[in-house]
Structures are given as C-alpha cells and as structure tokens.
Amino acid sequence: MERYVLAVFAVVYLGMVLGRLPGLALDRAGVAVLGAIALIAGGALSAPQAWAAVDVPTISLLFGLMVVSAQLRLGGFYTWLTRHIGAVPCQPAGLLALVIAAAALLSALLANDIVCLAMTPILVEGCGRRGLAPMPYLLGLSCAANIGSAATLIGNPQNMLIGQVAALPFGPFLADAAAPTVASLAAAWAIIVFLHRGRWTAPARDFCVEAPDFNLWQSSKGLAVLAVLVAAYLAGPWPRELPTLALAGVLLLSRRMTSRRMFGLVDWQLLLLFMGLFVVNHAVAEVHLLDRLYAELSVLGLDPSRPVTLYGLTVVLSNLVSNVPAVMLLLPAASSPQAALLLSLASTLAGNLLLVGSIANLIVAEQARPFGIHLGWAAHARIGLPVTIASLVITGAWLAWRWDALAVSAIR
C-alpha cells in the first residue's frame, strides 16, 4: 500500500508541475480530485478518513470570503473603483501607482483572483480611452495583487491555509507582513516605471466592456460586511471561519441578487483543488512518506526546519507545483509562527516569477486576450523576474532583521 500511495502522490504532483496530465483534459484541480478518488478506490483511505482529512475551517473561510467578493463584484464596486482610477488626471507613472495601490489593498482583504478578474477588462478600457499602453498597468495589477495579498491571512488561499493550520493571529501577522509588503510594492512600481520608460502611449481605442452596473446599496452591503469581518479578525478570539460564514449567509439573504449568480463567482475549482490535496497529503503522512522526504532533504543539507532552506525551498516549489501545493508540502516543516510567516510571504511573493506561478497572473493574461493584448511568458518575465527578486530580497532582509531584533529582546 505504501508504494501505491507513493505512486498516486507522484502522479498528482507531476500534474501540479505540468498543470495537467499529458493526454488528458485534466487541470490541477482535476488531477488533485482524481488522486483523492484513486486513494479511496484503492483502499489507502476509507471515505470517512478522506472526508476527515479535509480541513473544513480553511474551506469554510475560503468559501465565505469568495461570497463577500462576489457581492462586491455583482454590486459593481470593482467596476466603479477601476473606472474612477482610470479617469484620475495624472501622469502615466502616477496612474500606475494608483492601480498598484488599489489592487494591493483589495487583494489584501479579498481573494486576489477575483480582484484581477474584475479589474482587468475595466483597466484595459480606461487605458484605451486615455491612449495609454495597457501592458505596464496589467503587469502592475498582477504583481500588486500577488504582493498585496501577502499582507494578511485572508489575501490568498495559501495564507488562509497557513493561518488556519498554524493558528496565527490576524493582527500580529499583519504587523509583521505590512512593512515588506509596502516596500515590495514600491519596488515593483519603480521597476515597471524604469523598464517601460518612454513606452507609455498607444493609439486611443474605445473598447466595449460589459460589466455590472454600480449599485450603491449592494456595494455598501459588501463593504460593510468586509469591515465587520476585518474588525472581528483583529479583535475576536473566535475562529475566523465562524463570522465569515455567518456574514456570507447574511449576504445570500438578498431580494435582488440570486444565490445562483453569487455561487457562479465562487471558485469551485480552487475549493476542489484544496480538498483533493488535503486527502492526498493526508495519505502520504499516514505512511510517513513526508517524514522520510524531510529526512532525505536533511541528509542533502536542505533541512526544511532552517529558515534559509525553507525560504529557498518555498520559492522553488511554488514555481514548480504552484504555491498552494507547495505550502501543503512544506507546512509541516513550519513549526513556529516565524516559520509560518516566512512560508506565507515566500510562497506568495514567488508567484510573480513566472506567468504560471500564480492564478492571478493567468487571469490577467486571459482577461486581456479578447482585447488583442498578448501577455505571454516573455513579457511577464521581463517584469516578474526583477520584481520577484527585489521583493524576496527585501522580505528576506526584513525577516532576518526582525528575528535578530526579537532574539536580542528575548535575551534582555
């Protein structure tokens, strides 16, 4: 049975690396679910064991926040905000700073995937009307969505998972992550401005973009719920998924927006990916394969319990298998709040390196394609590579300084 579990694990993570299984129409979520099915059907886990392996609090938190974000999208809030930013009378570099700031702030509080999904077409529309080249703004949007989401425990799926499993408090995490996040955003802005100097303009075009009309009441409901949730996360001792689910339920009690439309914006693919990987990784842990993998890495001088090694492994694995599967593999090695913070920041910031490193990157590229804008590997890497290096260096230096300061304080 151990060999069977190892074989399933290998196939699933090969699918994570490739994004699919050769010859089959399966994406990463499909591969993860198929792996879970294979483990249950093959007798490695019973159905109750598989269900018990799923971290229900994490799934609940993800789902609840997706409902809140869906409320804001259907209420036209993202459309209204992006169009207002696009109409601000300022220089191209100043407009880029506004786009980066808005995308980062929204992504820190809401799922960055939906932020990119809602903002990309409206951003293209605004650039077309102003005669601006959309590429630097689209790259700024994707980079800022990734970097900004690193600031909180609700900004992206891997942070939610880390926060739930490691039982990290919301406020202290924000206090530790805010400084490197803001510095990384400033570095991203400077890099994009430098590399796109002299290439800001393009022929004006009037794009026809269909987007939800702004509804003050519906948007206000979503923003009010979000404000209450953030206050609850900062002040309350209760599990984060409880107020999130409760207020998501309140939003579903609507006379205007049907639950079908709300659920249509929930990323079921991501939820299934999580559930499948929970089952696969649980089976691997049951036969102690992960312990042996860590032992082999230690023999090679790559002890995941060392901060520098964990930082490097996280960056590499996040770009090989995507950041959610990478975090699931490495989370057992993050045995302290400091290590969990490191894992969270490194896995998120590494997403800017490659186009496929983050779902947010792929969403921006896919949403821009119907407008004749090709955001390919090379165009993304030209910005993504220096932005990732800069943000990882800034964050690594911050963490080293922060931990040294804590160590000195403890000695005193």
Q: How confident is the model at residue 112 (pLDDT cuts 50, 70, 90)?
A: confident
What is the DSSP secondary-structure string of 286-335? HTTHHHHHHHHHHHTT--TTSHHHHHHHHHHHHHHH-HHHHHHHHGGG--
Using pLDDT thresholds of 50, 70 and 90, give the confidence band for residue 16. confident
Q: What is the pLDDT of residue 2?
A: 83
pTM of the model: 0.89
Give the chain's mean pLDDT.
90
- Strand partners of residue 132: 201
The answer to whether the beta carbons of residues 69 and 211 sit under 8 Å apart is no
Quick: pLDDT tens for 36-87: 999 999 999 999 999 999 999 999 999 999 999 999 999 999 999 999 998 9
Q: For 349-399, write each residue's pLDDT tens digit.
A: 999 998 878 888 888 999 999 999 999 889 999 999 999 999 999 999 999
Lowest mean pLDDT of 114-118, 168-172, 191-195, 405-409, name the range.
Answer: 405-409
- Structure confidence at residue 21 as a pLDDT band (50, 70, 90): confident
Of 319, 273, 292, give the one whose Cα is nearest residue 5: 292
Cα of first residue to Cα of last residue in the chain, in angstroms, is 53
More confident residue, 408 or 204: 204
Per-residue pLDDT, averaged over 144-165, amounts to 93
The predicted structure's pLDDT at residue 405: 57
Interatomic CA distance for residues 53 and 21, integer angstroms:
24
Instruction: Report whether 99 contacts 135 (CB < 8 A).
Output: no
Q: What pLDDT sits at residue 408?
A: 43
The answer to whether residues 58 and 161 touch, using CB atoms and an 8 Å cutoff, is yes
Out of 284-298, 341-355, 391-405, give the one with best mean pLDDT: 341-355
Residue spans of the domains in the chain: they are 2-411
Which runs of consecutive H residues, i.e. helices, occur in 150-169? Answer: 157-165
Residue 201's φ and ψ, nearest 5 degrees, are -95, 160
pLDDT at 406 over 60: no
pLDDT band at 294 (very low <50, low <70, confident <90, very high): confident
